[in-house]
């Protein structure tokens, strides 16, 4: 069994994303400065509203204003176009959490080159309802995707510790969801994981097993693990 420590590479893929429409950057002149702070002390970027639980890249700035962005103990509020300026965080294993009206609290890894998606509350509710899932209080959902050599990996199954209150489900071809394993996009959902720290075991179609430790699960929220690399 391979064990992956929870890190920016595990969560965000550690890839260059020059074509990203919503980069997080230092000194982005298109984002207004908050509280008169200088560029040297601020982290600037944008939040985008995702209208799909499978394709997080399918998002826009519509509805992304007035949301709270938190990272490393610092907070900021997004402008109408989703842009924000926040005190630059310090430390390791940092993560963004975006919350507010009309969205599900969404946690993603800190990365200076990644989009910060937030899941629409309506999209979240419709996804759960269409799969017969009603989550109790005290739990969250882990949404992830798996890759091998940078490509989405099909046929991967997943289990969690603590055990989730519902079985995981996966992207299906051409649309929708399945319970059999990841489809062509390599996406999985684990609903009903007790809030706190969780571990995931990912099993590929050839018998390989990978453990991802220390995943932060928020009560009533979504934790995103994008492009988890499997050996």
Measured distance CA(33)–CA(35) in Å, rounded: 7
Question: What pLDDT digit, counting tens, does each position of 205-226 carry?
Answer: 888 999 999 999 999 999 999 8
Predicted confidence (pLDDT) at residue 26 exceeds the cutoff of 50 = no
pLDDT at 5: 55
Question: What pLDDT digit, counting tens, does each position of 152-180 carry?
Answer: 999 999 999 999 999 999 999 877 899 99
pLDDT at 2: 66
Burial grade of 85 (CB within 10 A; 0-12, 13-18, 19 or more): buried
Question: What pLDDT digit, counting tens, does each position of 34-72 carry?
Answer: 433 446 688 888 999 998 999 988 888 888 999 999 999
Q: What is the rounded average pLDDT of the residues 7-33?
A: 38
pLDDT at 176: 86
- Outline where DSSP puts E strands in the chain: 2-4, 42-50, 59-60, 68-71, 74-77, 83-87, 95-99, 103-104, 106-109, 116-120, 139-148, 151-152, 157-161, 169-171, 177-178, 187-194, 196-203, 209-217, 222-229
- pLDDT bin (cut points 50, 70, 90) of residue 114 is low
Pick the range with the lowest mean pLDDT from 5-14, 62-71, 86-95, 189-198. Answer: 5-14
């Amino acid at each position: 069994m391979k064990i992956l420590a929870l890190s920016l590479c595990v969560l965000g893929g550690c890839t260059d994303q020059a074509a990203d429409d919503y980069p997080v950057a230092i000194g982005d002149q298109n984002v207004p400065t908050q509280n008169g702070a200088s560029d040297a002390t601020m982290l600037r970027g944008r939040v985008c509203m995702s209208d799909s639980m499978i394709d997080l890249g399918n998002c826009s700035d519509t509805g992304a204003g007035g949301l709270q962005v938190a990272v490393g103990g610092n907070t900021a509020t997004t402008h109408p176009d989703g842009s924000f300026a926040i005190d630059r965080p310090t430390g390791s294993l940092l993560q963004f959490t975006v919350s507010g009206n009309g969205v599900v609290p969404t946690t993603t890894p800190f990365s200076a080159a990644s989009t910060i998606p937030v899941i629409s509350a309506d999209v979240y509710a419709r996804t759960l309802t269409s799969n017969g899932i009603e989550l109790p209080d005290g739990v969250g959902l882990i949404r992830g995707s798996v890759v091998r050599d940078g490509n989405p990996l099909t046929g991967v199954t997943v289990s969690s510790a603590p055990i989730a209150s519902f079985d995981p489900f996966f992207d299906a071809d051409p649309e929708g969801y399945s319970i059999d394993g990841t489809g062509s996009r390599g996406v999985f959902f684990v609903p009903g994981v007790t809030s706190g720290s969780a571990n995931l075991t990912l099993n590929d179609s050839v018998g390989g097993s990978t453990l991802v430790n220390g995943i932060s699960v928020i009560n009533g929220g979504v934790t995103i693990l994008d492009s988890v690399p499997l050996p």
